[in-house]
Amino acid sequence: MGRKKQIGTPVGDEKQLGILDAAAAVFMKLGFAGASLDDVSDNYGGASKGIIYYHFRSKTSLFFAVQRRAMELTREAIAGIATGPGPARERLERMAVAHTLLMMEHLDYLRVAAQGLEMHLSGRTTEDERREIASITALRDGNEKLYLGVLNEGVKTGEFRRVNARVAVKPLLGALNWTSRWYHPRDGETSADRKKLAEEIGRFAVHAFLPERVLKSAP
């Protein structure tokens, strides 16, 4: 299996992250119910299930670990931008671009994160699973708060029109996260192609918050 470049990966976690990469690809393709640890083992180069059990006690814990990694990757992609220098409008666009690129480059992780949400909404979970989902949801909410902070700042400075940021952040993230549903890599696609697409989506995301005066003055 081709290994992706990992963001902020501790050296000692390479094997564990390799298992997560393999599991994310399997869960994306087969879904939670259809996947088995044998499938993950095969996708991890035929490693024994014992190696997987050494790091993850069950298929369910592995599934949740993939979701948790998706939330961590998202935070690592956007947190530095959200809390860094620059106008709110510029930071929001850069966050949206980074978020979208992450979706395209780690598509399997982000699709599995959506599967996890659907499992939670379906109600077919145990008490332990609900606790784990709550923990992952807290990570998701933390990422949302980064966007919320930039939106509130932009409203305060007049860069964005006056919106209820707590409401507006939902469709914003919905639009960005939906990339994991419709995006499929094309034959011959390059990193430059993905960046161009992400920048287009980033501009679209910011456009929704611009004041009318700014829209009227645009060429």
**Is 90 exceeded by the pLDDT of residue 152?**
yes
> How far is residue 149 CA from its own chain's centroid?
18
**Is 80 exceeded by the pLDDT of residue 24?**
yes
The model carries a pTM of 0.84
Q: Out of 5-9, 165-169, 191-195, which region has the weakest mean confidence (pLDDT)?
A: 5-9
Query: What is the model's pLDDT at position 9?
Result: 39
**Is 70 exceeded by the pLDDT of residue 148?**
yes
Query: What is the model's pLDDT at position 5?
Result: 39
Other CB atoms within 10 Å distance of the CB of residue 125: 15
Highest mean pLDDT among 91-95, 113-117, 125-129, 174-178: 91-95
**Is 90 exceeded by the pLDDT of residue 131?**
no
Query: What is the model's pLDDT at position 69?
Result: 94
CA 4, 195, 149: angle at the middle one, nearest 5?
Answer: 90
CA 27, 44, 42: angle at the middle one, nearest 5?
Answer: 80
**Is 70 exceeded by the pLDDT of residue 153?**
yes
CB 151 within 8 A of CB 162: no
6: which residues sit within 8 A by CB, 6+ positions away? 17
Q: Given pLDDT bands bounded at 50, 70 and 90, which one contains residue 216? A: low
Give the tokens for residue 181: 């549903």
Query: Mean pLDDT across the stretch 98-116?
Result: 91
Query: Mean pLDDT across the stretch 68-74?
Result: 95
Query: Is 2 in a helix, a strand, or coil?
Result: coil
